[in-house]
Structure 1
Amino acid sequence: MDCHLERGANRTRYDARDNKLHLNEVPIPEPREHEILVKIACASLCHSDVMLFEPNEQGLILGKNPVTIGHEATGTVVRTGSGDVASKFNPGDAVGFLCAVECCFECAQCKNVHNAWCATGKTKMQGFTLDGYFQEYAVVDARETMVLPEGLDPKTAAPLFCAGVTAYHGVQDCELQPGQWMAIVGCGGLGHLGIQYAKAMGYKVVGLDVADQALEEAKKCGADHVFNSLSDPDWQRKVVEVTGGGADAVVNFTASKKSYDDAPAIIRTGLGLLMVVGIPRQPLQLNALDIALGRYRIKGSNNGTCYNMRPAIEFSAKHNIQPHITAYKLEELPKMIELMNSHKAKGRMVVQFD
């Protein structure tokens, strides 16, 4: 990692000009009226952070360059802006937050769909179009922030504020009944949480991955069966067999287009659902006849808004949903990215700040 030092707090920035990370120091930011200054305790790496380094056709773009990456963090309040919404927080509060900013939070899209489609067209995402959270201090929007429930530690809870909210709604939005079968595709950073949520909701779970260490993690999280879809040529037949005809829902947390292509073969015919969560580099290709004739249904689930964040976080605290984390130092972020790209990571990789 290249280093360039200025005054202030440490942070890691991505620069598209050389497609690299640079560790530098910058002044501690000041919160605006509706913002909170947070001392970051924990920031975790998400696959969409890594997508900055690779070509993609899914609309993931930078709004500024260079940019501090990271959109998943927890920390403690240092000070607040002067507005009413920010005044609801106190210095020392342990908080988590989401990354959408500069949107209105009041239009139908913000309330019911996602802030990305805000009617103002002004939405920015911290970590992509604005500076994110792989830094010691960050300003966040008070409207997207909540005090952590009892039992959640800001040093370890960061993955819940993207991966957790995403996994929770990816599972819950399938609307299964207890006892039905769910296949979780990708048992890593998102999937290991999805398995915990699914089991807490009473579902039976098949875990699918291409890495044996991720499947071991899936077993620890409660998966009833696990299969390696890379090394086991008969995995689709086995999934259909153990589920008695196919999964009632397949939730795909991966960025693999092939895993989407393979999914229809393990969905219960005429009754099953494919839940789209992971974003491959290439657009998905679906058989229109399958959809038109009702072979299976398709649905999507996003990474959350301030309106559906709280239920996911409170459910996590109530059911002791724990991200399985491995901690690194800020200067080790390139190593974290390398481990993610090589499928050697277990659970979620985080940077913990002193």
Structure 2
Amino acid sequence: MAKTQKAQQYDARDNKLHLNEIPIPEPKPHEILVKVVCASLCHSDVMHFEPNDQGLILGQNPVTIGHEATGRVVQPGSNVKGFKEGDEVGFICPVECCFECKPCKEVHNAWCVTGKTMMQGFSRDGFFQEYVCVDARNTMVLPKGMDVASAAPLFCAGVTSYHGVEDCELEPGQWIAIVGTGGLGHLGVQYAKAMGLKVIGIDIVDQQLEEAKNQGADYVFNSMTDKDYIKKITEITGGGVDAAANFTASKKAYDDMPALVKPGQGLIMVVGIPQQPIQFNALDIALGRYRVKGSNNGTCYNMAPCIEFSAKHKIAPHITYYKLEELPKMIELMHEGKAQGRMGVKFD
């Protein structure tokens, strides 16, 4: 095997991507060396290039970006059990955490009691490179029949959107609004329909709304061009949706959410991360007009249920493939809101 590989690395000194030649890593005893099959682009990756006060931290510079991917096992570490060469696997990005404390098991690895957690793609080299070492505890063999390339977005977008819907704790037949029907939301629509919910898709891009309809949304609304969309949703649902899950990075979308949900029992689910802090009225919350909740976007403990549910219900991302050299183009398309579904670099 070659000693070096190509990687798309972000450099904070010029705020740009560079296609660099870097060493192929060797797995530590608890790691697996994986040949990446597909790495897909998430809006969180684009946050590297944007002003942001929401907690994005770099631990090295330059750093290979990307934190959702799939691949094939090349070499398990000396202490790794349950994986063999050639296994098709997916994986998530937290490293250096203990995986055993209450936050790691029940909240998120970011809050590990050790305080040492790093995220591949941000504070450690991520997945837009040909080979990567991943923690075996963050890795699972794909269910039989699941396509290894198109499954890549499930290991961030999928887990995030699945739990963003499931954690609303709705019963079949209740109403959910999926705010933002793009890369995350088009999966959220699929999960919601598979859970038996009635779905309203909201976006500002007609192409995204068309995708939501294709995925089974009962109604869709363009919140930019239809000024009466909230009134219409209130009438359709008999007072408002039971929950609204926001998958966008739009503060304006969050500002509109209280009017979407049913007074006294509606839930606002926070998933997307805008550049600016979001605000809710304290009196509304104190008087129980609505509840606000967040959703865990993926740990090794809640990863498998999403992937298994996806395989059972044949839920798959709408994904367009590019070459590694085209990653800057992918980022430009995401910035301009022209991407439909998910975009991924396919390595083989």
**Fold equivalence (TM over 0.5):** yes
Q: How does 1:165-314 map to 2 (within 5 A)?
A: 165-314=159-308
CA distance in 1, matches of 2:329, 2:3: 25
**Runs of 4+ deviating beyond 6 Å:** none
Residue of structure 2 equivalent to 1:40: 36
Residue of structure 2 equivalent to 1:61: 57
CA distance in 2, matches of 1:52, 1:234: 36
Deviation at 1:175, TM superposition (A): 0.5
3-state SS of paired residue (1:88): coil
CA distance in 2, matches of 1:308, 1:245: 33
Residue of structure 1 equivalent to 2:6: 10
Q: Does 1:111 align with 2:111?
A: no
Question: Which of 303, 306, 315 is matched with 1:321 structurally?
Answer: 315
Question: Which of 47, 54, 59 is matched with 1:51 structurally?
Answer: 47
Mapped contact 1:52–1:61 kept (Cα < 8 A)? no
3-state SS of paired residue (2:302): helix
Aligned residues: CA RMSD: 0.9
Residue of structure 2 equivalent to 1:91: 85
Report Cα offsets for 1:302-337 as digits up to 9, x if no partner: 211000001011000000001000101111111111
Report Cα offsets for 1:62-88 as digits up to 9, x if no partner: 1111000000000000001101xx232
Output the amino acid matched with 2:155: F
Report Cα offsets for 1:201-252 as digits up to 9, x if no partner: 0000000001111001101110000000111111111111111211100000
Report Cα offsets for 1:107-148 as digits up to 9, x if no partner: 111011000000000000000000000011000000010000
Deviation at 1:7, TM superposition (A): 6.2
CA distance in 2, matches of 1:280, 1:231: 21
Question: Which of 66, 70, 76 is matched with 2:72 structurally?
Answer: 76
Q: Which runs of 5+ in 1 are unaligned?
A: 1-5
Mapped contact 1:7–1:25 kept (Cα < 8 A)? no
Q: Does 1:29 align with 2:41?
A: no
Sequence identity (%): 73
CA distance in 2, matches of 1:28, 1:221: 39
Deviation at 1:10, TM superposition (A): 1.1
Q: Give the TM-score of the pair, scaled to structure 1.
A: 0.97
Deviation at 1:25, TM superposition (A): 1.5
Residue of structure 2 equivalent to 1:3: none
CA distance in 2, matches of 1:70, 1:14: 10
Report Cα offsets for 1:9-42 as digits up to 9, x if no partner: 1110000100000001112110000000000000
Q: Which runs of 5+ in 2 are unaligned?
A: none
CA distance in 1, matches of 2:215, 2:12: 37
Report Cα offsets for 1:40-62 as digits up to 9, x if no partner: 00000000000110111101121
Output the amino acid matched with 1:136: E
Paired residues, number:
347
Report Cα offsets for 1:131-189 as digits up to 9, x if no partner: 00001100000001000001211111000000000000000000000000000000000
Output the amino acid matched with 1:14: Y
Mapped contact 1:74–1:155 kept (Cα < 8 A)? yes
3-state SS of paired residue (1:238): helix
CA distance in 1, matches of 2:146, 2:188: 18
Q: Does 1:141 align with 2:155?
A: no
Deviation at 1:345, TM superposition (A): 0.5
Output the amino acid matched with 1:239: I
Mapped contact 1:252–1:277 kept (Cα < 8 A)? yes
